[in-house]
Structure 1
């Protein structure tokens, strides 16, 4: 028998008000980010997954309504199917649309919290944290462990996150935290090269 704790009316506590969203969207557009998948960001997500030894990793850009995984690593490497995000979770795509599986509603997952909080988030076992254990990704996708850091550029805007996810509890420790923060800083440097016409 399972017990579903009551949830507050409206948005989950996990998804705090995001006052910076309009400025973030303008900045992402200026950098040409957040609207299409990019091989270089998929490769970065692959590296993240390798470093952390996890099945899933993402480079995630967030607007007012949804999250977009511009970089995505899945266990089987098949990025055209609706994984790791079930269709019921995806927002704004249909089963025939390119990039299915790269969109997720803002109320799902932990990256929106990281962006608003502007700090890394370490959840070795999501179920140990009542504030996060009730998030839909826990029951619908099976997420048990999360490690993410914000991508904060020189303007002070948090563009999104880099994160790794496992379906089992993981002892990330200080080494994991430092690694994800270091990789976030590395990616921000690469992203900022796009300004003024520079590429990666």
Structure 2
């Protein structure tokens, strides 16, 4: 029988814990394990980036964060023409980019969000090419496994992806990054070349729900055109 109490919790806190777990349709053990896993991700992102990929992989395999099956987009992500367009930019593994850094910084301010990024979606990884963040709970740089990427779905569908509250979205609530509490709201626009190949995204996210408007999308699209001009040497 699973112990439904937590050490150092009084009766009121343990009762509240049981209620919160019930509201999430989980038993207390699963609820606590998911919360601990989310905190581990936050701490590792802050202090031990080399371990991050292994931790993510183990959490996915163990299903601590719940069932994380998402729609398959492998065919679109591994499309040879798309990957060739990505390689041709010369942006992969090329270090910091001052132009893109200015774009993400201005975008974060324009949309009043704690996280803005230019991402590159490779065949098996997501590279955060430029990041502006004010919260340590988001991925602060480098790369993450593709399984933890929302941007791969923006790239695969080739159009704007807007999630006001991913926790209640029938599809994306299953995503591991959502279950881990990495973000709540997401807005992304694919960065495309003239042939329509999407190499990544310009995206923003928030740790609370956001009602994305047509104005928000227009601002993000305008900044995306600047990112595309930097990536391809011309405005698509």
TM-score by length of 2: 0.66
Partner Cα distance (1:69, 1:177) in 2? 21
Are 1:183 and 2:223 counterparts?
yes
Q: Give secondary structure in 1 for the equivalent of 2:74.
A: coil
Going from structure 1 to structure 2, the CA distance change for 1:18 and 1:73 (only over 3 Å counts) comes to: farther
Partner Cα distance (1:141, 1:190) in 2? 32
Partner residue of 2:98?
Answer: 39
Partner residue of 1:52?
Answer: 111
CA contact (8 A) 1:34 1:62 kept: no
Partner residue of 1:170?
Answer: 210
**Which protein has the larger Cα radius of gyration, Structure 1 or Structure 2?**
2
CA contact (8 A) 2:67 2:174 kept: no
Partner Cα distance (1:31, 1:83) in 2? 30
CA contact (8 A) 2:99 2:230 kept: no
| CA root-mean-square deviation | 2.2
TM-score by length of 1: 0.77
Q: Which has the higher contact order (CA 8 A, sep 6+)?
A: 1
Residues 62-85 of structure 1, C-alpha deviation per residue, up to 9 Å, x if partnerless?
A: 111000011111116xxxxx8622
Q: Give secondary structure in 1 for the equivalent of 2:179.
A: helix
Q: How big is the shift at 1:7? A: 4.2
Residues 92-131 of structure 1, C-alpha deviation per residue, up to 9 Å, x if partnerless?
A: xxxxxxxx73201111131100001000011111122120
Partner Cα distance (1:174, 1:159) in 2? 24
Going from structure 1 to structure 2, the CA distance change for 1:47 and 1:127 (only over 3 Å counts) comes to: same
Size of the aligned set, in residue pairs, is 171
Partner Cα distance (1:20, 1:144) in 2? 24
Q: How big is the shift at 1:140? A: 2.1
Is there any run of 5+ residues in structure 2 with no aligned partner, and where?
1-20, 27-64
Q: How big is the shift at 1:186? A: 2.5
Is there any run of 5+ residues in structure 1 with no aligned partner, and where?
77-81, 86-99, 195-200
Partner Cα distance (1:163, 1:41) in 2? 12
Partner residue of 1:24?
Answer: 82
Partner residue of 1:134?
Answer: 174
